[in-house]
């Protein structure tokens, strides 16, 4: 996986490809390359290990000149990061070149067959086999799209690919199976990309390809077809955000920008859903009307929330509210484990698939299993046209705007908000949530953006800013930290720990506070701090007891507490406060100091905040 961009038109392809790759850097990568069909008919491939700056240096010394090309940023799956393993990959005669995201599961068999027939493969990647297979197919046909289609018929695995050939200098071919790929429509030019920001400078009209589809692009035509060769038609989707929405906006990092965008993202997530009617607000989730009308929700007796990473933590937080408001049992399942666990799932289970990108491979596979078993499926995603939307009976978009940094921030809070909206809606539909209580929930949700703003302001100056600085001074030199909480504070602790280890590389783990004494407390000492979620809650006294247990082991305690809680000062060394709110809604802004704690610790340790090592934004391989 990571980023793909392709161009066919009348402009010089190289600057377009490099610009597109730059806008895909947020996905994480270890090497980069471009391939251009040059004006003299040759295939010019330039690629290198490392960051895009290294590729730009190579290109500057001998820039490929041509109007058709493909580019790629690679995150290693087969073969270590190296120049030879970087994409694009060519065939024996440099006739065909391929960029590929995904994993070819039967590549070892295919590679052995190719080598036995005389092909010379120069890399350790699974991708290179595709170029040689297309080379073989072009001996049988002069149609590049047909050669690609025949090649993919022999492939098992996941892929999004872009292909050009010097024998077909005006053609660009793409295909997808369990990997994101979009077409960008221009005038006298067309584009291919794995994500919208790569081509947004040039067009806002896109066509997301479905799984099992391929596309043949020329400067003046777009032909979409299935892998069986049957032509299909798609209405273009208009992208209503511009390239500035994907820029840093004055912040040093996208991660910081997106933390500070959370009040606005929360407001957008509620827009069109909480209707401010007199005398009280009302809830409308029009996206669910079709599913409601189908009657399939009548059979639902339980809910399964599916996701990975940050999505799981959002699901765990929302679970408490969903069970309380719907009176249905709610299971939170790690998608990568779900489909291998022989789950009990059918029409009685409402499956909610949560994925920021809409393309997370594990979540898609788990969702497909649930759907095939007859479960009604609701997708919760930030990406219009993502693959999960085509598996779902209904989709609730996060409406958060583009999230560029690899580590999630605003999509985490908008996932929780969206799941809360779903829980309140479902509770009313089932007759389990009184109208007065639903209105209280809606009022609390409407208050959230302002509480987020207050939290951010308090962390910029005054006692909270000083406390944040003290905590960072401690954490930047630590080898490990423990995070604890109770109730919704437990998954919030897990999210705080995830953020710290994702971007600062400090080992951190989140635990249910009551479980500390069953083993994890052995890790505590004077150099291993404890970060405690100690906001006002039904279990506040319990979390204070757990903090005291840590203090008795000489652990330094950093507490996230509620404004006005004077008693916490006798239990913690450093205290960061957040506004008071009903317990269920506190995580929506209590996460902000945890995000900033991770951010400033990463800065102090000299880490690459937006592109942490070994990580990618969209995990499109299993």
pLDDT, tens digit, for every residue of 512-521? Answer: 988 888 888 8
Average pLDDT over residues 125-151: 95
Tens of pLDDT, residues 444-499 = 999 999 999 999 999 998 899 999 999 999 999 999 999 999 999 999 999 999 99
Average pLDDT over residues 361-369: 94
What pLDDT, on the 0 to 100 scale, is given for residue 258? Answer: 94
Domain presence at residue 621 = no
What pLDDT, on the 0 to 100 scale, is given for residue 522? Answer: 80
pLDDT higher than threshold 60 for residue 186: yes
| Residue whose C-alpha is closest to residue 180's, from 456, 381, 405, 352 | 381
pLDDT-above-70 percentage for the chain: 96
Confidence of residue 394 (pLDDT cuts 50, 70, 90): very high
What pLDDT, on the 0 to 100 scale, is given for residue 621? Answer: 54
The answer to whether residues 443 and 476 belong to one domain is: no
- The residue that leads in pLDDT, 525 or 569, is 569
The answer to whether residues 511 and 589 belong to one domain is: yes
The answer to whether residues 120 and 145 belong to one domain is: yes
Q: Do the Cβ atoms of 72 and 87 come closer than 8 Å?
A: yes
Domain presence at residue 187 = yes
The owner of tokens 């197919």 is 137
Confidence of residue 105 (pLDDT cuts 50, 70, 90): confident
Which CATH number does the domain housing residue 68 bear?
3.60.20.10
Q: Decide: helix, strand or coil at residue 75.
A: coil
Average pLDDT over residues 579-587: 96
The answer to whether residues 439 and 471 belong to one domain is: no
Confidence of residue 359 (pLDDT cuts 50, 70, 90): confident
Average pLDDT over residues 272-298: 88
What pLDDT, on the 0 to 100 scale, is given for residue 440? Answer: 94
What pLDDT, on the 0 to 100 scale, is given for residue 469? Answer: 96
Confidence of residue 387 (pLDDT cuts 50, 70, 90): confident
Rounded-to-integer distance, Cα 359 and Cα 340, Å: 19
What pLDDT, on the 0 to 100 scale, is given for residue 611? Answer: 83
What pLDDT, on the 0 to 100 scale, is given for residue 75? Answer: 74
The answer to whether residues 29 and 170 belong to one domain is: yes
Q: Which long-range contacts (CB under 8 A, 24 or more apart) does 558-561 make?
A: 558/471, 558/474, 558/529, 558/530, 558/531, 558/532, 558/597, 559/531, 559/532, 559/534, 560/531, 560/532, 560/533, 560/534, 560/535, 560/590, 560/593, 560/594, 561/534, 561/535
Which CATH number does the domain housing residue 548 bear?
3.40.50.10490
Q: Can you give the residue range of the structural domain that contains 352? A: 248-456
Global pTM reads 0.76
Rounded-to-integer distance, Cα 411 and Cα 26, Å: 15
Q: Interior CA angle at 125 toward 119 and 130, to 5°?
A: 55
What pLDDT, on the 0 to 100 scale, is given for residue 102? Answer: 85
Domain presence at residue 590 = yes
Domain presence at residue 318 = yes
Tokens of 375: 């479960």
Rounded-to-integer distance, Cα 536 and Cα 166, Å: 66
- The residue that leads in pLDDT, 610 or 378, is 378
pLDDT higher than threshold 70 for residue 61: yes
The answer to whether residues 370 and 314 belong to one domain is: yes
pLDDT-above-90 percentage for the chain: 76
What pLDDT, on the 0 to 100 scale, is given for residue 28? Answer: 63
Rg (CA), the chain: 25
Q: Verify cis geometry, omega within 30 degrees of 0, for the bond prior to 279.
A: yes
Query: Which residues are part of the catalytic machinery?
Result: 2, 617
Tokens of 305: 């929330």
Domain final residue pick, 456, 481, 503 = 456
What pLDDT, on the 0 to 100 scale, is given for residue 221? Answer: 96
Confidence of residue 392 (pLDDT cuts 50, 70, 90): very high
Number of H helices, E strands in the chain: 18, 26
Domains: count for the chain: 3
Average pLDDT over residues 555-563: 95
Q: Do the Cβ atoms of 24 and 191 come closer than 8 Å?
A: no
- Average pLDDT taken over every residue of the chain: 92
Domain final residue pick, 440, 456, 472 = 456
The answer to whether residues 501 and 388 belong to one domain is: no
Domain presence at residue 301 = yes
């Amino acid at each position: 996986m990571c980023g793909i961009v392709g161009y066919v038109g009348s402009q010089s392809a190289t600057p377009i490809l490099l610009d597109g790759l730059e806008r895909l850097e947020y996905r994480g990568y270890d090497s980069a390359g471009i391939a251009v069909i040059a004006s003299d008919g040759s295939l010019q491939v330039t690629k290198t290990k490392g960051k895009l700056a290294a590729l730009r240096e190579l290109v500057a010394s001998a820039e490929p000149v041509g109007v058709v090309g493909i580019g790629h940023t690679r995150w290693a799956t087969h073969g270590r990061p190296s120049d030879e393993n970087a994409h694009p990959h060519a065939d024996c005669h440099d006739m065909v070149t391929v960029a590929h995201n995904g994993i070819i599961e039967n590549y070892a068999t295919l590679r052995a067959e190719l080598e036995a027939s005389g092909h010379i493969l120069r890399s350790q990647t699974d991708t290179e086999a595709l170029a040689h297979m297309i080379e073989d197919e072009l001996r049988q046909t002069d149609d590049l799209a047909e050669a690609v289609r025949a090649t993919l018929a022999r492939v098992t695995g996941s892929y999004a690919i872009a292909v050009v050939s010097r024998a077909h200098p005006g053609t660009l071919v793409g295909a997808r199976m369990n990997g994101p790929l979009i077409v960008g429509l221009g005038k006298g030019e067309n584009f291919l990309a794995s994500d919208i920001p790569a081509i947004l400078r040039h067009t806002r009209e896109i066509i997301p390809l479905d799984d099992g589809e391929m596309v043949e692009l020329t400067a003046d035509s777009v032909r979409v077809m299935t892998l069986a060769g049957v032509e299909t038609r798609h209405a273009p989707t208009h992208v209503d955000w511009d390239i500035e929405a994907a820029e840093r906006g004055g912040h040093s990092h996208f991660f910081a920008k997106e933390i500070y965008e959370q009040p606005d993202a929360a407001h957008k997530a509620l827009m069109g859903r909480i209707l401010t009617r007199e005398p009280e607000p009302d809830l409308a989730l029009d996206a669910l009307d079709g599913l409601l009308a189908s009657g399939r929700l009548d059979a639902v007796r339980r809910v399964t929330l599916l996701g990975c990473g940050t999505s799981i933590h959002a699901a765990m937080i929302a679970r408490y509210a969903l069970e309380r408001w719907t009176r249905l049992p709610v299971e939170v399942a790690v998608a990568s484990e779900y489909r291998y666990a022989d789950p009990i799932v059918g029409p009685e289970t409402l499956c909610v698939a949560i994925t920021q990108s809409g393309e997370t491979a594990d979540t898609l596979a788990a969702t497909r299993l649930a759907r095939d078993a007859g479960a009604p499926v609701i997708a919760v995603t930030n990406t219009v046209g993502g693959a999960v939307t085509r598996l779902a009976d209904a989709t609730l978009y996060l409406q958060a705007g583009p999230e560029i940094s690899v580590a999630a921030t605003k999509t985490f809070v908008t996932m929780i908000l969206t799941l809360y909206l779903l829980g309140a809606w479902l509770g009313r539909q089932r007759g389990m949530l009184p109208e007065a209580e639903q209105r209280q929930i809606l009022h609390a949700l409407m208050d959230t953006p302002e509480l987020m703003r207050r939290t951010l302001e308090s962390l910029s100056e005054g006692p909270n800013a000083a406390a944040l600085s003290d905590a960072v001074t401690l954490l930047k030199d630590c080898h490990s930290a423990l995070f604890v909480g109770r109730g919704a504070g437990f998954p919030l602790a897990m999210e705080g720990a995830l953020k710290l280890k994702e971007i600062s590389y400090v080992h951190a783990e989140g635990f249910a506070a009551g479980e500390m004494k069953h083993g994890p407390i052995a890790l505590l000492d004077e150099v291993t701090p404890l970060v405690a979620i100690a906001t006002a809650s039904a279990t506040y006294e319990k979390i204070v007891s757990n903090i005291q247990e840590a203090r008795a082991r000489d652990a330094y305690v950093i507490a996230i507490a509620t404004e006005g809680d004077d008693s916490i000062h006798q239990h913690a060394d450093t205290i960061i406060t957040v506004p008071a709110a009903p317990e269920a809604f506190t995580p929506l802004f209590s996460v902000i100091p945890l995000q900033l704690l991770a951010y400033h610790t990463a800065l102090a340790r000299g880490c690459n905040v937006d592109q942490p090592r070994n990580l990618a934004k969209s995990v499109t391989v299993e």
